[in-house]
Amino acid sequence: MAIISPSMEILFIDIVKGLNSRVFENKSVSDLASEHISKLIVNTSRQAGSDGRHISSSWFPWMSDDMMKYLRIGLTTLLLSFTGQALFKAGLEKFPWYMSYWAAFGAIGVEILLLVSHFRVQSDIYDNMVKAVFEIAYPYTMLTTILYWGVYYEKGWLVWSDFQTWFDSLFIHVLPVILLTVDWLFNNVIFDYQRGSLRILWLTLSYISLNYLAQDITGYDPYPFVTWDDWSTLGWISLVAGTNEVLLMGTAFLTNYMKTGSGVSPTQNLIKVFPVELSFLTKLAGI
């Protein structure tokens, strides 16, 4: 097991110190937590609190809310029946260590949240929360599907004549992205790429921190090419984080252009958004 570089340790310590100093400055822990949770929920997605697009509706004028409801009943049923069963077969002990299981669980969760919107009173807060989850879950399923079939998969894992091999290869690494794509094609979700890019970065960093602990806890490396023994690991995690951001930005541009006629500028995304995120991280660390 490799040791984290001193510079990374200093950064994490500075982040904790920065958070502690802000917690006890003028507000109690409960007040601060309540304030941040409120901001997280209300501002999860749209710049102005709400974009007026309900998640129970489709962007196609001919598609009614009931049609969306029945579509989502079908999508949720398929996800629970096949992807849910595949997660159950994998077991809870494997769940924290594989990005694919995170993505599959997220796909099931967001589709359930989208379906629930048809059975509750419309709320901008709920809509924004679900939009934010969808903005993360959909590109994340793309990422894990690409990594599995492009990097991780080995010949013989999928045998068409053996149904048991379908669970991990198809029900975890194909079905979720297909079903979320179907919902994406018809739903009314417009991407907030600025907040979305930061949220998906934090999700990636959260997984990386768990992956670092995997060898000590489980006795094996979930991904053989991420061992933390040399600098190649840094290359792999940088590639994963970068690919995740590119997928989100590309999906956001295509989604917004397709559904509103005005996408988001790639120049604004890559040049303006990332420095803002870096500035946020440095302020959080007290640098």
For residues 127 and 53, give the distance between their C-alpha atoms in angstroms, rounded to a whole number.
9
Give a yes or no: residue 170 inside a domain. yes
- Closest by CA to 108, choosing from 131, 129, 87, is 87
Helix (H) or strand (E) segment spanning residue 24: none
Identify whether the C-beta of residue 176 lies closer than 8 Å to the C-beta of residue 104: yes
Domain count for the chain: 1
Would you state the pLDDT for residue 130? 92
**192 DSSP assignment:** -
Residue 261 backbone class (left: φ over 0; alpha: ψ -120 to 50; beta: rest) = left
Q: Tens of pLDDT along 13-42?
A: 444 444 444 444 455 555 555 555 444 444
Q: At what angle do helices 175-186 and 124-147 cross, to 10 degrees?
A: 140
Give a yes or no: residue 162 inside a domain. yes
Which of 64-73, 79-88, 242-251 shows the lowest mean pLDDT across its residues?
Answer: 242-251
Q: Could you list the residue range(s) of the whole structural domain that residue 164 is in?
A: 56-284
Is residue 285 scored above 70 in pLDDT?
Answer: no
Give a yes or no: residue 125 inside a domain. yes
- Specify the pTM: 0.72
Give a yes or no: residue 10 inside a domain. no
Give a yes or no: residue 15 inside a domain. no
Structure-model confidence comparison of residues 213 and 182, the more confident one: 182
Give a yes or no: residue 41 inside a domain. no
Identify whether the C-beta of residue 118 lies closer than 8 Å to the C-beta of residue 65: yes
Would you state the pLDDT for residue 263? 56
Give a yes or no: residue 18 inside a domain. no
Would you state the pLDDT for residue 156? 86
Would you state the pLDDT for residue 23? 42
Give a yes or no: residue 202 inside a domain. yes
Q: Tens of pLDDT along 139-176?
A: 999 999 998 998 888 888 889 988 998 998 999 999 99
